[in-house]
Amino acid sequence: MLTEIADTQSEEATREAVHRAVSLLQAGDIAALPTETVYGLAADALNPPAVEKIFQAKQRPYFDPLIVHLPHKNSYAEFTLVPEEVKKPIIQLIETFWPGPLTLILPRKPVIPDVVTGGLATVAVRMCQHPIFHRIIKNFGGPVAAPSANRFGCLSPTSADAVMRQLEGRIPLIVDGGACGRGLESTIVRVTDGEAKPQIEILRPGPVTVEELKPFGKVILTEHNLEVEKSNPEAPGMLAHHYAPSTPLRLLNSPRDFTPEEGKRYGLLSYRGQEKDGYIDLYHWEEIRVLSPGSGRIAEAGIRFFHMLNQLDQMGLDEIVAEPVPDRGVGKAILEKLRKAAIKG
Ligand code: TXA
Ligand code: MG
């Protein structure tokens, strides 16, 4: 199959790209689309054979459920059953964060096909903020299933090029909407009725941070026990070895942790590229990529994270060595991805 890239450099090109993507979705086919987080691989969520094409192109196991993107804020009522006791906080979260990078796990209505949720009673829903995705889903007029547009187990793509490297020949179209503005996959939460206030459990940390969720309830971020998850890969959404580059990666806690092996070629993923942090001068690195040069901005590191890691991954290194990043804001999401990538699978 020939994979085409549709650009969106002008209004005319955008109109054409939107038209082609919508036609593919309507015909029960798939297309890679830009979102504000990472590129997604989209299909009509209500058409099971179309959704199956996503699993096939990504080589994703059927037990790993997909995120459903909704065309309007209030579409949640059409596709999910929000329990009465959490209605208030759910509506507050939707009003505050949609359209945007927050995904809610909610009980699903029967219209959502089994193939989308791996048979689970719940469905993951969000409303995307990217203007091109927005135009496509508005014109399509229904819910769109779209996981990240990478091969299963590989790095999420934040550019059309990165999608091409992983899915060329497996999908008909990539709509190039430029680099993703947030750069990390959406924050996934489950809301339950707490004693004094609602409990917001973060299942996957992302661009919407603990700090931003706090006004809406008691926020719980479980540090998943990665070794247990590794031995129980059937728990959906909990796969430990998940975001791995193809090059082995290790995450350091301090510069003292690193002892190079003779003859190996190492690349450094640095937080801010400062000698005073102790990592740059540690070794004659083959390659260095810096997430947020200068004094370091954690939000900027999040935006550039997958792009920089993807670059190091293409250099044929023996190992990527990652500096730790600050454990706050989107730093939590970056650290989680680095920890998962560092697990030898
Ligand atoms: O930012 C994003 O969320 C991107 C863009 C494309 O929207 N999408 C994305 O999808 O990251 P995906 O499929 O790569 O990650 C979705 C995660 C998976 O780990 C899946 O197991 C989990 O959400 N998930 C989906 N439905 C679930 C459910 N009902 N219960 C628990 N976890 C669920
Ligand atoms: Mg993914």
pLDDT in tens, the chain (345 residues): 999 999 999 999 999 999 999 999 999 999 999 999 999 999 999 999 999 999 999 999 999 999 999 999 999 999 999 999 999 999 999 999 999 999 999 999 999 999 999 999 999 999 999 999 999 999 999 999 999 999 999 999 999 999 999 999 999 999 999 999 999 999 999 999 988 899 999 999 999 999 999 999 999 997 764 444 444 444 444 555 566 899 999 999 999 999 999 999 999 999 999 999 999 999 999 999 999 999 999 999 999 999 999 999 999 999 999 999 999 999 999 999 999 899 875
pTM: 0.95
What is the number of the ligand closest to the CA of 40?
A: 1
The whole-angstrom separation of Cα 179 and Cα 226 is 30
Q: How far is the CA of 60 from the centre of ligand 1 (A)?
A: 12
Mutate-to-test residue for ligand 1 from 36, 175, 185, highest number of ligand atoms within 8 A of CB = 185
Mutate-to-test residue for ligand 1 from 112, 148, 305, 330, highest number of ligand atoms within 8 A of CB = 148
40 lines ligand 1 (CB under 6 A): yes
Put residue 262 in one of left, alpha, beta given phi > 0 → left and psi -120 to 50 → alpha. Answer: beta
Q: Which of 42, 37, 3 is nearest to 21 (CA)?
A: 42
Q: How far is the CA of 327 from the centre of ligand 1 (A)?
A: 23
What is the number of the ligand closest to the CA of 177?
A: 1
Helices (H), 209-316: 210-213, 226-231, 298-313
Q: Which of 305, 182, 190 is nearest to 238 (CA)?
A: 190
* φ, ψ at 18 (rounded to 5°): -65, -45
What is the number of the ligand closest to the CA of 150?
A: 2
For 287, the enclosing helix (H) or strand (E) is strand 287-290
Count other C-beta atoms under 10 Å from residue 339's C-beta.
Answer: 17
